[in-house]
């Protein structure tokens, strides 16, 4: 018997989406994604910032453990001999997790092994046969302030750059919270000077001197840093010229607000950042 003749039976006509309805749904989804993507990207950036700060807190504890074990003194200062950046070997016994070498925003080493990184690249990887203590297979995206160290402990004190009085030998100094120790960087370390000009490119290249090794737009106009008192904080890129990198560093020189710097004096990519 045909179903149409069954008492109480009602035929329901089924149909799919029309092309117009499908296009409307796709357009709505695309609109929602356009609205949500910036928020999701912002959350991801914030998560990477927090993870970077967590790494540097661990580094702060590592530096503190070293000085606690060495009469509240830092390791030997860097010199022009081939010993390399001393912190790498001096601190290696204090940690095992190599992941803390990397800011989460810069985990991929530069394709040219051993070279500097960029704002979002790590430096290294160094060769496995590198004879310098701790350098073998090393890669990372943090760097030391090479004015932190004890010149008298240098393997070759005659190779220490500048007067010994410039250096921060111990964390037990006044104003330690304004002295950079370990920071986001494109290289293992450097010796910034107050006359260094900012990099013309946001990947940390094009400027004069070594400040450009740290002046990278890795965290929305800031970098993260461990200070000599082992605290961790965000540092504005323009603020770096106001920090006390060495004992003779002028914190109110030409590249500071107190020294007369204007927003238009900075490279274009830095002009929107906060002045200090």
Is 15 within the bounds of a domain? no
Is 125 within the bounds of a domain? yes
| Contact partners, residue 217, CB within 8 Å, separation at least 6 | 119, 202, 237, 269
Is 43 within the bounds of a domain? yes
Work out the number of other CB atoms within 10 angstroms of the CB of residue 24.
12
Is 57 within the bounds of a domain? yes
This prediction has a pTM of 0.84
Is 191 within the bounds of a domain? yes
Least reliable range by pLDDT among 9-18, 29-38, 209-218, 238-247: 9-18
Is 4 within the bounds of a domain? no
Is 16 within the bounds of a domain? no
Give me the domain span that covers residue 46: 23-270
Residue 44 has pLDDT above 80, yes or no: no
Residue 40 has pLDDT above 70, yes or no: no
Residue 223 has pLDDT above 80, yes or no: yes
What confidence score (pLDDT) does residue 17 get? 64
Total domains, the chain = 1
Contact 128, 170 (CB under 8 A): no
What torsion, rounded to 10 degrees, do the Cα atoms 155, 113, 131, 154 define? Answer: 10
| Residue 156: closest CA among 89, 88, 77 | 77
Per-residue model confidence as pLDDT tens digits over 62-111: 999 999 999 999 999 998 876 789 999 999 999 999 999 999 999 988 76
The proportion of the chain whose per-residue pLDDT surpasses 70, expressed as a percent, equals: 89
Is 39 within the bounds of a domain? yes
């Amino acid at each position: 018997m045909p179903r149409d003749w069954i008492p109480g039976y009602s035929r329901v006509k089924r149909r799919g989406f029309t092309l117009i309805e499908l296009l409307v749904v796709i357009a709505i989804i695309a609109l929602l994604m356009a609205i949500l993507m910036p928020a999701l990207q912002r959350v991801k950036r914030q998560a990477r910032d927090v993870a970077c700060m967590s790494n540097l807190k661990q580094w702060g504890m590592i530096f503190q453990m070293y000085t606690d074990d060495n009469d509240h003194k830092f390791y030997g200062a860097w010199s022009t001999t081939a010993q390399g950046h001393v912190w790498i070997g001096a601190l290696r016994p204090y940690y095992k997790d190599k992941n803390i070498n990397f800011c989460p925003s810069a985990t991929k080493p530069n394709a040219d092994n051993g070279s500097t990184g960029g704002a979002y690249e790590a430096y290294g990887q160094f060769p496995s046969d590198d004879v310098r203590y701790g350098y073998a297979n090393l890669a990372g995206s943090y760097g030391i302030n090479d004015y932190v160290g004890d010149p008298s402990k240098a393997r070759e004190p005659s190779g220490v750059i500048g007067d010994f009085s410039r250096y921060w030998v111990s964390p037990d100094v006044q104003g330690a919270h304004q002295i950079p120790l370990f920071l986001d960087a494109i290289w293992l370390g450097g010796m910034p000077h107050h006359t260094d000009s900012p990099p013309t490119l946001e990947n940390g290249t094009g400027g004069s001197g070594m400040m450009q090794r740290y002046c990278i737009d890795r965290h929305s106009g800031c970098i993260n840093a461990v200070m000599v008192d082992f605290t961790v904080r965000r540092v504005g890129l323009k603020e770096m010229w106001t920090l006390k990198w060495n004992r003779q560093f002028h914190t109110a020189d030409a590249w500071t607000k107190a020294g007369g710097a204007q927003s238009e004096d900075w490279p274009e990519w830095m002009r929107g950042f906060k002045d200090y």
